[in-house]
Amino acid sequence: MTATLQTIRGCVLAPDPDHQRVSLLPDALLRIDDAGVIVSVEAASADCDVPNTWPGAVIVPGFVDVHLHFPQTRVIGSASGPLLPWLERSVFPEEQRFADDDYAATVADEFCDALIAQGTTCAAIYSSSHPGATERLFAALARRGLRAATGLTLMDRHGPAALVRSHTDALAASEGLLERWHGYDRGRLQLSMIPRFAISCTPELMQAAGTFAASHDLLIQSHISENLDEIAKTLELFPGQRDYLGVYEAHGCATASTILAHCIHLSDHEWSRFVSRDLAIAHCPDSNFFLGSGAMPLAAALDRGLRVGLGTDVGAGRTFSVRRVAAAAHDAALLHGAPVAPQALLWLATRGGARALGRPQLGCVAPGFEADLAVIDLPALGSSDMDTIIDALLFRHDAGPVRATLVRGRVL
């Protein structure tokens, strides 16, 4: 089906806007306006003549992937970790191929296919350090109807010569991308500033990224405290800083518009500054397991009231499925002896991600929200209660493919 729908009928799982809860609407009728915004959600009446749009399926808000790397699409599953050797052996050689615009354009289409196939409607994406490849990525996202924040992965040291770029060059390229893509299609696409991580950025580059983001109100994305060797090297490179977060704080890259991935080995003092600065977290447990990095204490982050979303972290993550990442988050939470309810995990995969990315109009199935939806086939279940349905969606890896992915009511 390729269409823009204005009426949808079916079984809906509707996340609460503010709390980590979900409601089941077993037979709902959704109406969507010309702009792709939901105008009403009601129980279908007994004499409703609209047939079920996708019989046997459940409708959820489109998944929000808050952290993944476009130029790592073709190196998913490279078991060359831990983090620093994996970057050298698997990632940097592949990212260099993105100097070729045609290669980037081909992979950008594969990348969009993979997002749509998993019901992901919005993503925070690291491009490569190449302006041409990033342009191709924006063009593919625009054409395919996806929602995203992306930009150059900024690095000016500790990488191959073919990937490092001076901060003046990177900022000039970002100016062009800002003009062409930021706010495209009523804000569907956004430019983001992405200092790769502290190791690969000089203080000058990081400061320039922070200043540029502040002056244009852009999302900042980076990594923090993924791996103990990474932390040690970071503190060696920034001897004036007491801890890893201090590096981002000192260079204008730790604001309420910042999302930091991993957060596995943070100190208590860093956690409390996450709260005071309203920093958002990209929780990437599948990637963390694959590289042997450890497990972030999810329940502790949620107890602190922090904004948390789920990230596939492709290519250290082995899947584009945010549902699979939710299952990994379940396992990671158990390792900490602090389980997180499946309902809360589905909330994080949708509404939590939207809040982490500063997209308040996403992640709910309710009037006033954008009609970004994922439609997932349900396997035969012994019960139709909500917990059974959520468990099946998140934890039965062999069942329930995505039947349709919609942004603003348009089937992608």
Q: How far is the CB of 111 from Zn ion (least distance, A)?
A: 15
Query: Minimum Å distance from CB 259 to Zn ion?
Result: 11
Task: State the minimum distance, in angstroms, from the CB of residue 75 to Zn ion.
Answer: 12
**Beta bridge partners of residue 124, listed in sequence order:** 149
Please name the residue that has the structure tokens 């929602």: 147
| Residue count, binding to Zn ion (CB under 5 A) | 1
For the CB of residue 224, give the shortest distance to Zn ion in the complex, in Å: 11
Site map (CB under 5 A) of Zn ion, residues 173-212, x = contact: ----------------------------------------
CB 369 within 8 A of CB 121: no
Q: Which is nearer to Zn ion, 293 or 350 (CB)?
A: 293
**Is residue 239 classed as helix, strand or coil in its secondary structure?**
coil
Measured from the CB of residue 106, what is the shortest distance to Zn ion in angstroms? 22
Q: Please say which residue, 13 or 308, places its beta carbon nearer to Zn ion.
A: 308
Round to whole Å and give the CA distance between 141 and 112.
Answer: 7
Residue whose Cβ sits closest to Zn ion: 313
Closest distance to Zn ion from the beta carbon of 128 (Å): 13
> Between residue 297 and residue 336, which ones bind Zn ion under the rule CB under 5 A?
313
Q: Between residues 95 and 313, which has the closer beta carbon with respect to Zn ion? A: 313
- Nearer to Zn ion among residue 156 and residue 313 (C-beta): 313
Give the residue with the Cβ less far from Zn ion, 314 or 348.
Answer: 314
Contacts with 325 (C-beta within 8 Å, 6 or more apart), sequence order: 284, 285, 286, 310, 311, 312, 317, 319, 349
Contact between 372 and Zn ion (CB under 5 A)?
no
Assign residue 313 a region (left: φ > 0; alpha: ψ between -120 and 50; beta: otherwise). Answer: left
Cβ nearer to Zn ion, comparing 70 with 369: 70
H helix or E strand, kind and range, residue 57: strand 57-61
Q: 410 in the Ramachandran plot: left (φ > 0), alpha (ψ -120 to 50) or beta?
A: beta
Q: Which is nearer to Zn ion, 10 or 315 (CB)?
A: 315
Taking the C-alpha atoms of residue 70 and residue 10, their distance in angstroms, rounded to an integer, is 33
Question: In whole angstroms, how close is the CB of 284 to Zn ion at the nearest point?
Answer: 7
Distance in Å, CB of 387 to Zn ion, minimum: 32
Long-range contacts of 341-346 (CB under 8 A, 24+ apart): 341/20, 342/387, 342/390, 342/391, 342/394, 342/395, 343/20, 343/21, 343/22, 343/386, 343/387, 343/390, 344/20, 344/21, 344/302, 345/310, 345/394, 346/13, 346/15, 346/22, 346/60, 346/390, 346/393, 346/394
Nearer to Zn ion by Cβ, of 249 and 313: the residue is 313
95 near Zn ion, rule: CB under 5 A: no
Q: How far is CA 251 from CA 41, 121, 128, 191, 306, in A?
A: 45, 32, 22, 19, 22
Binding site for Zn ion (CB under 5 A): 313
